[in-house]
Amino acid sequence: MLEPLIYDLSRPGRQGVTLPACDVPPTPLPDGLARTTLDLPEVDQLTVVRHFTRLSQLNMGIDTHMYPLGSCTMKYNPRVNETAARLPGLAAAHPLQDPETVQGSLALMFALQEWLADIGGFAGVSLQPAAGAQGELTGVLMMRAYHLDRGDTQRTKMLIPNSAHGTNPATANMAGLDVVEIPSDPRGNVDLAALKALCDDTIVGLMITNPNTLGLFEEHVEEVVAAVHACGGLVYGDGANMNAIVGKVRPGDLGFDVLHYNLHKTFSTPHGGGGPGSGPVGVSARLTDFLPGPLVARVQDQGETQPPHFSLVTPPKSIGRMKAFWGNFGVLVRAYAYIRANGPDGLRGNSEYAVLNANYLRAKLEDVYKLPYDRVCKHEFVVEGVWADAPGVHALDIAKRLVDYGFHAPTNYFPLIVHEALMIEPTETETRETLDTFVDALRKIAEEAHTQPQLLKDAPHTAPLSRLDEIAAAKQLVLCCRPAALS
């Protein structure tokens, strides 16, 4: 046992914080309203601090280790953004205050809408979606609503490449659409002939990730978009891989109709061990009326002498709201601070160096690790974590062994179209020395795979725990440490 459960540290009568005495005459509670037991722990403050500090020490994070998790853009999360989000004027404003009294929040959101629209090449942006997957649902619901609004009711199919994130097909299913999978060609692109054969008046559109999950820029992207548009379909862009192309190309210029941005990837907001994220969507002119509401609008009738004034408005054909209130505002503040600090040249530089770092690793590793699609990559690349002359060693073993060398594992077993995939994304914020150390580790591991394979299969050796039994977890299903207290 690494650290006891907080419940095991509980002792009757302890409490971690005191509350003010009641300063008003009490009102008796009616009978039958209150519960008789509540099974929460009773712990003093120092014990709470030590418990959660010790738990934190069992984690790897970007602040402690290089975290080359493909598709997740684990770049440095600037601390100034944390300070910004905690400014009292932003952190203590209530979402339902009169808009007149929260002009600062609305101005920030308006600027971010405008900036993201500019970065993506879109006519409108909603900041409401709480994560990338929710941005996807937002986009797909808008595409569906657009066709229905035109009376185009026979469109029920969504085309999705076989390299796509699982969220893409799941999203289409949530929207009540049928998924049709498109194969990839030998260079890792969408198979253009297969796509064209499926483009007809039954498709809602195409969901595409560009650069795709192989880290490759779609070489025929304009033809792909044209084929979908020619049959009346719309193109959805999964922006998970936007960190490769900010300032280099705008998805809107490529003809995309919708794109979600992952503020917790491209725009440096921390992942927090599983959120909160933020997944704003940008749309082309024909979809702006369908955006989820409300959006922040600038009120125009004040003349140039007045400062700009902002209000909340819902577009006329809006698909509705995606969550309560206006979005993950605290995450928006961090992204605003990031864009403001970087400026246009900084943002472009981030993408350039993210791509430089990835290609540097690719060049330094390609003689040892097989690259199924061997061409210039964008912000990440995928290798096969397996060798014919080292039977029994798998991608998972390599991933776990990296921990012993002081690195978080890359994404593994995704994308599904690569055998024993290891997906490596260094991001722009790693130094050359760190990259070189990472290369040395991966090359040493390749050697170990051939000379001491057991070392890999038993890895990690230096982590707080050895490999965990995931099958037992799913079979016995212990999800809660307390028997439920019903009374």
- Residues in 216-235 that interact with other proteins by CB under 8 A: 216-217, 219, 221-222
Looking at residue 66, the DSSP 8-state letter turns out to be B
The yes or no reply on residue 431 touching other proteins (CB under 8 A) is yes
Minimum distance between the CB of residue 477 and other proteins, rounded to whole angstroms?
6
Classified as helix, coil or strand, 110 is helix
The yes or no reply on residue 299 touching other proteins (CB under 8 A) is no
Minimum distance between the CB of residue 44 and other proteins, rounded to whole angstroms?
9
Minimum distance between the CB of residue 235 and other proteins, rounded to whole angstroms?
15
Minimum distance between the CB of residue 171 and other proteins, rounded to whole angstroms?
5
The yes or no reply on residue 115 touching other proteins (CB under 8 A) is yes
The tokens 């405008």 sit on which residue?
Answer: 114
The tokens 């978009």 sit on which residue?
Answer: 225
Minimum distance between the CB of residue 470 and other proteins, rounded to whole angstroms?
5
295 close to 312: Cβ distance less than 8 angstroms: yes
Nearer to other proteins among residue 277 and residue 448 (C-beta): 277
The yes or no reply on residue 420 touching other proteins (CB under 8 A) is no
The yes or no reply on residue 303 touching other proteins (CB under 8 A) is no
Nearer to other proteins among residue 3 and residue 185 (C-beta): 3
| CA-wise closest residue to 225 among 247, 268, 258 | 258
Check the CA dihedral 217-74-124-232 and report its sign: positive
Nearer to other proteins among residue 166 and residue 389 (C-beta): 166
Report the alpha-carbon distance of residue 283 to residue 315 in Å, rounded: 13
The amino acid at residue 234 is: L
Residue-wise burial string across 171-182, b where 16 or more C-beta atoms lie within 10 A, e elsewhere:
bbeebebebeeb
Question: How many residues lie near other proteins (CB under 8 A)?
Answer: 207
The yes or no reply on residue 473 touching other proteins (CB under 8 A) is yes
The yes or no reply on residue 153 touching other proteins (CB under 8 A) is no
The yes or no reply on residue 481 touching other proteins (CB under 8 A) is yes
DSSP string of 196-207, one letter each residue: HHH-STTEEEEE
Check the CA dihedral 230-234-238-242 and report its sign: positive
292 close to 318: Cβ distance less than 8 angstroms: yes
Choices 24-32, 193-201, 387-395, 444-452; region in contact with other proteins by CB under 8 A: 24-32
Classified as helix, coil or strand, 62 is coil
Report the alpha-carbon distance of residue 314 to residue 321 in Å, rounded: 9
- Residues in 257-296 that interact with other proteins by CB under 8 A: 264, 268, 270-277, 292
Nearer to other proteins among residue 14 and residue 196 (C-beta): 14
- Residues in 320-379 that interact with other proteins by CB under 8 A: 320-331, 333, 336-337, 339-350, 352-353, 355-357, 359-360, 362-364, 376
Given 123, 192, 231, 249, the residue binding other proteins (CB under 8 A)? 249
CA 437 vs CA 354, 389, 433: distances in Å:
17, 25, 6
212 close to 381: Cβ distance less than 8 angstroms: no
- Residues in 177-206 that interact with other proteins by CB under 8 A: 177, 179
The tokens 């548009």 sit on which residue?
Answer: 229
- Residues in 40-99 that interact with other proteins by CB under 8 A: 40-43, 45, 48-49, 51-64, 67, 69, 72, 74-78, 80, 82-98
